[in-house]
Amino acid sequence: MRRRLAVVTVGCKANFADSAGIASIAVRAGFELVPETVQADVLIVNSCTVTRKADRDSRALARRLRRGNPRAVVVMTGCYARMATGDRDALPEVDHWVGGGDPEALPRLLASLAGAGGPPGEEPSLAVVDRLLGHTRTFLKIQDGCDAACAYCIVPKARGPGRSVPLGEAVESACRAERDGAREIVLTGIHAGRYGADRGEADGLAMLLEALLSATSIARFRLGSVEPREITPRLVGMLAAGRRVCPHLHVPMQSGSDAVLRRMRRPYTRIEYREKLQAIGSAVPGIRLGADVIAGFPGETERDFKETLLGIAECPLSYLHAFPYSPRPGTESAGWPDDVTPAEKKRRVALLREADGGMRGKYLEGQVGRTLAVIAESETARDGIREMRGTSENYVEVAFPGEGKAAGVIVPVRILSVAGGTLRGEAWG
């Protein structure tokens, strides 16, 4: 009988893609992959360390899994496992820590833990693995690592320098996933906009996207986070063409104050950011644009914060991810005086989230009457009626009566109303 293994993920879309890779290794080693809700023999926590909260979440998850599975083997991997070597003795719930440095460490460990429960399996496609992990969309990791030097970020230390997946390998993975039913493929990476830069390629992300579109015929592709200076005219042209590239982009802002951006070591100005987003908005009508913003970075004055609010208002953004600054040990800014009080950070984050609520509501209202292509993801019951929920091409949650609809298919949905931040509509066809 095969031993059972579950993978639980903390953090970003790149971590979801990493979890699919871990699951593939486990299947090849002979494990049966199960959800975390099922009693498993081995539990893997694919952790995150981007903030101290992510560290806490990773530790809390390991403890919760141990309580629910007292006889299981718990393995901590991912960014927190790489960086938190000093925390290991304080987390006895974890049996094995697998950090970076040795790419064969996890395969060796899983081969030893699989025992003689079953013969090794064939390597499954990303689509198959993501479905086993409970994901309807497929996450294709195209890049890892980061060469930037943002003053507040630990990721370059946790992930190492930027490195790109060979183009042929990425294309083959996408083709296999499409053959196995993938209808939305999310391109993930720590610094995906720099795809190919480590090989000296210019416009590498656009080149990859063109190759993916040429090699596939059904699946749509979604880009995640791309830095302002990496959004090239060629990439914008592909978004504008509407050829199976989702009209959605997340463009980190972090601050609208040039003084704060310089202290953060961010390589653009407020005007550059504004002009880039306005150009995208003009070229791709209806595109959904989002941004990250940090409130209360060391030295951020009230004037700096007001410039950020103004910068947000100048851009065609439709949502924000707003965070209060917290010093991250191991980063440059952690050694600076944290001169914005917690109360002031809280106030500024509240104002950013208020702005976020307004722009989200405005964008969602603008979708009423449109027909969106929604990938069906999960089934719920509402007032006794079977209802499907999914994600539209412009990255909005949509609910619709789902009789006869299966998860993973793309459904045209005519949008009728907005309720609680969700679009509601009726399926066509």
Q: What is the average pLDDT score of the chain?
A: 92
Residue 102 contacts by C-beta under 8 Å, 6 or more apart in sequence?
none
Q: Given this model, what pLDDT does residue 373 score?
A: 96
> pLDDT by residue (tens digit) across 213-244?
999 999 999 998 999 999 999 999 999 998 89
> pLDDT by residue (tens digit) across 258-274?
999 999 999 999 999 99
> pLDDT by residue (tens digit) across 361-414?
999 999 999 999 999 998 877 667 788 999 999 999 999 997 767 888 999 999
Fold of 371-427: OB fold (Dihydrolipoamide Acetyltransferase, E2P) (2.40.50)
Q: Given this model, what pLDDT does residue 356 score?
A: 97
Lowest mean pLDDT among 73-82, 198-207, 329-338, 380-389: 380-389
pTM of the model as a whole: 0.90
Could you tell me the two tokens for 282?
A: 């003009």
Q: Does 123 score more than 80 pLDDT?
A: no
Fold of 126-365: pyruvate-formate lyase- activating enzyme (3.80.30)
Answer for the pair 282, 236: CB distance below 8 angstroms, yes or no: no
Task: List strands edge to edge, sheet with 319-324.
Answer: 248-250, 288-295, 319-324
CA atoms within 13 A on the CB side of 292: 14
Q: Does 305 score more than 60 pLDDT?
A: yes
Q: Given this model, what pLDDT does residue 426 score?
A: 94
Q: Given this model, what pLDDT does residue 120 score?
A: 62
Answer for the pair 9, 139: CB distance below 8 angstroms, yes or no: no
Domain ranges, ordered by start, for the chain: 4-114, 126-365, 371-427
Four-residue CA torsion sign, 262, 264, 270, 275: positive
Helices and strands: H and E segment counts in the chain: 13, 18
Architecture of domain 4-114: 3-Layer(aba) Sandwich (3.40)
Q: Given this model, what pLDDT does residue 102 score?
A: 79
Name the β-bridge partners of 254: 293
Q: Does 25 score more than 70 pLDDT?
A: yes
Name the β-bridge partners of 426: 414
- Mean pLDDT, residues 67-72 taken together: 92
Q: Given this model, what pLDDT does residue 95 score?
A: 95
3-state secondary structure 23-48: HHHHHHHCCEECCCCCCCCEEEEEEC
